[in-house]
Structure 1
Amino acid sequence: MDISTLVGLALAIVAIVFGVGSEFITIIDIPSFFITVLGSIGATFIAHPSSKSFKIFNIIMEAIRNPKIDNIETLRTLYSFSEKARREGMISLEEDLPSIQSDFLRDGLRAAVDGTDPEEIKKILEIKMDMYDEEQEDKISVLDTWGAYAPAFGMIGTLIGLVLLLDTLTDPSTIGPKMSIALITTLYGSLIANIIALPPAEKLRKRAGKNINQMRMILEGILSIVQGENPHLMEEKLKAFLSEEERKQYESSKGENAF
């Protein structure tokens, strides 16, 4: 689980609860909930195909998960494959294919072992990267859409509340309930957009970017192996894909292994 997502949600809820204080119950309004939440979800379903929109809550849960993106281990793996290929030939990597967890790395190495031309390997892997990027953007756009429609339905609820308020303005007892719909729907729309929809979308977008960066590193590594580059040259090239913190950690681990 991604601890920062859980902590962020908890902090947002605590901030609202303590901000409202003992009057928290007054911001709970069922009609406003139906107008804003169900209305905005319905609009999101209209905007996206069912294969994506019906999984909106699964997409949010995906943001809470914390899949490990280990660029350092990927670099080590590519370096070891490069050394082995230079010593024993490209065909020797075939025995390692079943143990590779990454589909992207395994497919690329399989193509390399089969003697596929480097340019063709590059095209194949770039297509896989584009397909992954498109799939992730499709999922993220569902949350972006919900985050855009929720405040809009909050305003729709506000207008509905004002219409109902004006229609019964001669009865003072109805002013409070109608005004609550008018105001609370706007609140609900803002809460959905700024806590439930847009932050998870941003997290998924950044995570997808990290995965694309790792795929690019794998692509460069495989091409270096196929072209028979010196493993140390390949290592220096792939270190450019590491963040500063990852690079320091990688160099530190190399120093420890040297002893």
Structure 2
Amino acid sequence: MKKFDIMTPIGILLGVIVILLAVFSNSGPSGFIFFIQIASVLIVIGGLVSAIIITFSLAELKLVPKVLGEAFRTESHDLENLIDTFVNLSTKARREGLLALEAGLDEVKDPFIKKGVLLAVDGIEPDVIKDIMMAEVVAMEERHRKGRAIIEKAGEYAPAWGMIGTLVGLVLMLQNLNDPATLGPNMAVALLTTLYGTVLANLVFLPMATKLGNKTDEEVFIKQIIIEGVIGVQSGQNPKVLQEKLSAFSVVNKKAKYEEDVLGEENVAS
């Protein structure tokens, strides 16, 4: 079951607060007004949207709300419960036969597990079952990649449009060197567009794209466990053996998370 992921908005809000505090500590409350530049916003947002529209098709652009929404949702996977499900299926298959599994599929909520078990019940060879299910995994990865590509491109385009805004501001400033009153506003456009583009890329788009990629990797990992479980049930593996085999995935996953956390803490400390 997917739930609201509070970490995404917290991260974005924290980044904004840090920037605002940096501004406040140097210029006070009145300094905020100098960081609001409509021309810079128009250049970065307008240019970014235009570039995205040129790059992607209408069908792909329709995925943007859904893709952005995924960055604010999380889904927890209970590996122990998943392993128990396949142990129970294996036990039932060995006692009553594969055909008996079809009657109890209503209790299984995961459609990917249902599909695999039905393929096994139909007597399809293990290699064929694996190919069919892996094809669905590959298709899922491709769908996620296409949706994530929009966010990744936005992260690439935002700083570029910030630089374009900087060039525009510098050109305007150089054209009006004789008028001191225009130097400040034009310089603001020049600098703030770069700031806006960089903040959007590194605080919003690129972190979201990375998070979506991590979620895809986790989903692929879970589906690989399911495929191994289905093959084990179909081939009549001993439930204890199947449990040990699938538990190895759980150990690998915990080890990977532990190493990621430790390395992350070491990097922060260094």
For the criterion TM > 0.5, the same-fold answer is: yes
- 1:59-88 CA distance string (max 9 Å, x none): 222111112222222111111111111111
Question: Which residue among 203, 212, 222 is the counterpart of 1:204?
Answer: 212
- 1:13-58 CA distance string (max 9 Å, x none): 1101111112122111111111112211221222122222343343
2:99 corresponds to 1:91: yes
2:24 corresponds to 1:14: no
Q: Distance in 2 between matches of 1:53 and 1:111?
A: 35
Q: Distance in 1 between matches of 2:167 and 2:251?
A: 49
Amino acid at match of 1:191: V
Amino acid at match of 1:153: W
What 5-or-longer segments of structure 1 have no aligned partner? 248-259
Q: Distance in 1 between matches of 2:98 and 2:117?
A: 9
Taking only the aligned residue pairs, the percentage that are identical comes to 36
Corresponding residue for residue 122 of structure 1: 130
Q: Distance in 1 between matches of 2:18 and 2:41?
A: 20
Which stretch of structure 1 is more off in the superposition, 211-220 or 162-171?
162-171
Corresponding residue for residue 256 of structure 1: none
2:110 corresponds to 1:102: yes
Q: Distance in 1 between matches of 2:250 and 2:58?
A: 38
Amino acid at match of 2:10: V
2:193 corresponds to 1:185: yes
Are the structure 2 counterparts of residues 205 and 34 from structure 1 closer, same or farther at C-alpha, using a change threshold of 3 Å?
A: same
Q: CA deviation at 1:182?
A: 0.4
- 1:174-222 CA distance string (max 9 Å, x none): 1111111100000000111011101011111011101100100000010
2:223 corresponds to 1:215: yes
Amino acid at match of 2:67: I
Q: Distance in 2 between matches of 1:129 and 1:224?
A: 18
Q: Distance in 1 between matches of 2:124 and 2:151?
A: 40
Corresponding residue for residue 147 of structure 2: 139
Partner of 2:193, secondary structure, is helix
Which stretch of structure 1 is more off in the superposition, 219-228 or 22-31?
22-31
Contact 1:40/1:150, CA 8 A, preserved across alignment = yes
Q: Distance in 2 between matches of 1:171 and 1:94?
A: 82
2:16 corresponds to 1:24: no
Q: Distance in 1 between matches of 2:57 and 2:193?
A: 27
Are the structure 2 counterparts of residues 57 and 157 from structure 1 closer, same or farther at C-alpha, using a change threshold of 3 Å?
A: farther
- 1:139-185 CA distance string (max 9 Å, x none): 11111100000000000000011111111121111111111110000
Amino acid at match of 2:76: K
Contact 1:122/1:219, CA 8 A, preserved across alignment = yes
Aligned length: 247
Q: Distance in 2 between matches of 1:134 and 1:6?
A: 27
Corresponding residue for residue 263 of structure 2: none
Are the structure 2 counterparts of residues 70 and 232 from structure 1 closer, same or farther at C-alpha, using a change threshold of 3 Å?
A: same
